[in-house]
Amino acid sequence: MSPPRPRKGATRAADIPPDVLDALSRGEMQTATLAECMAIDQARLLRAVFPELSADALATADAACKLGILKRMSTIGALLLEELGTAGIERSRTHGADMVRGWACFMIGAHPELDLPARLVAIRPLADDSHFGVREWSWMAVRPHLARELDVAIAVLATWTSSRAEFIRRFASEALRPRGVWSAHIPEFQREPGRALPILSPLRADPSTYVQDSVANWLNDAAKTQPSWVRDLCAQWQRGDPADATRRICKRASRNLR
């Protein structure tokens, strides 16, 4: 597949040109917007990329495509893992279409034999993907495992905060937001947000606005249930002569606090 040509992309499904949607659903180009991602005919894409799948697998995918986007992605990831095994992860992970790489994320999420550290090793290249959608699928696919083993997740992701790659640092924060987008809340962080400080504190002056926004959103989530904790933490971080990044994070984190 040739590299995708630069384009703005449609912000509404109704505005996607038929030829673009056709190419997207054949896996011949990458999405440029969330609207395009949501509009792809995943059942058609699945048949185009993996024509060898069984009739039963395709029937399962067809049924899943009538459901919400996360259920669609997780079901297709699980059936690809069952049909293709671990070799399918590598095949999907290196595909040129972002949606197929997203399926790789959910294949890793569905793998029954990976412990949490191994699962994070497997997802890391996808967490650092150049496409915005794949980066989101990467944390969504493994978040249930992170939430079930919070102490292990915190310990591993704390080491990711020192990565040179801003996408990896952002994953460390975004994957464990107390009220993650399109995902179940993490009650432990709603009660005790301080447990996440090994991840949040190293990022409090991160130079990347992408990371800053994630940390600020993490704290904004926490402020819904623990506003005093967020106020106190931001006050602590801003003592003395804080970095501009820290001030920006705290301002955004406090945007809904009175």
Whether 6 shows a pLDDT value over 90: the answer reads: no
Instruction: Report pLDDT digits (tens) over 42-73.
Output: 999 999 999 999 999 999 999 999 999 999 99
In the chain, how many H helices and how many E strands?
A: 16, 0
DSSP for 137-172? Answer: HHHHHHHHHHHHTHHHHHHHHHHHTT-S-HHHHHHH
Instruction: Report pLDDT digits (tens) over 100-131.
Output: 999 999 999 999 999 999 999 999 999 999 99
Supply the mean pLDDT for the chain.
Answer: 94
pTM for the whole structure: 0.93
DSSP for 23-92? Answer: HHHTTSS---SHHHHHHS-HHHHHHHH-TT--HHHHHHHHHHTTS-HHHHHHHHHHHHHHHHTHHHHHHH
Q: Residue 12, SS3? A: coil
Q: For the chain, what are the domain ranges?
A: 10-147, 149-258
Instruction: Please name the residue that has the structure tokens 């109704």.
Output: 14
Q: What is the mean pLDDT of residues 138-158?
A: 98
pLDDT tier for residue 7 given thresholds of 50, 70 and 90: low
Q: What is the mean pLDDT of residues 238-248?
A: 95
Of 238, 240, 234, the closest CA to residue 218 belongs to 234
Q: How far is CA 188 from the centre of its chain?
A: 20
| The CATH fold of domain 149-258 | 1.25.40
The two three-digit tokens of residue 5, written as one number: 């040509």
Report percent pLDDT > 70 for the chain. 97
Residue 242 burial by Cβ neighbours in a 10 Å radius (0-12, 13-18, 19+):
middle
What's the rounded Cα separation, in Å, for the pair 233 and 123?
A: 31
pLDDT tier for residue 3 given thresholds of 50, 70 and 90: very low
Per-residue pLDDT, 5: 47
